[in-house]
């Protein structure tokens, strides 16, 4: 799967939980999920669970804790799929 395709799916998932809908439109890999997109930390757990379902991967707590930006999420998913 191409990185831009993974990015698109990640943004689709995060978009369900983001409170800052305007930031979704201009999001880049450097966009912070909690601060910029206003996903609360409890919902971040749901985001990670959705990543697991969508990409058929397993994300342990240590890896989940390292996901701060959209790029972090894409990199993690690509590593799990490799």
Architecture of domain 3-81: Orthogonal Bundle (1.10)
Residue 18 token pair: 């983001």
Whether the pLDDT of residue 1 is over 90: the answer is: no
DSSP 82: -
> What span, in angstroms and rounded, lies between the C-alpha atoms of 38 and 74?
18
Domain boundaries, the chain: 3-81
- The pLDDT, as a whole number, for residue 57 is 98
- The pLDDT, as a whole number, for residue 21 is 87
**pLDDT tens-digit series, residues 5-59:** 999 999 999 999 999 989 999 999 999 999 999 999 999 999 999 999 999 999 9
Find, among 14, 20, 25, the residue nearest to 51 by Cα: 14
Residue 78 · residue 5 · CB < 8 Å: no
């Amino acid at each position: 799967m191409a990185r831009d395709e993974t990015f698109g799916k990640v943004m689709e998932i995060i978009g369900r939980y983001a409170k800052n809908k305007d930031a979704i439109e201009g999001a880049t890999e450097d966009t912070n999920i909690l601060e910029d997109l206003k996903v609360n930390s409890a919902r971040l757990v749901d985001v990670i669970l959705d990543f697991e379902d969508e990409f058929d991967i397993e994300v342990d707590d240590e890896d989940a804790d390292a996901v701060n930006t959209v790029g972090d999420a894409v990199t993690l998913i690509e590593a799990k799929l490799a």
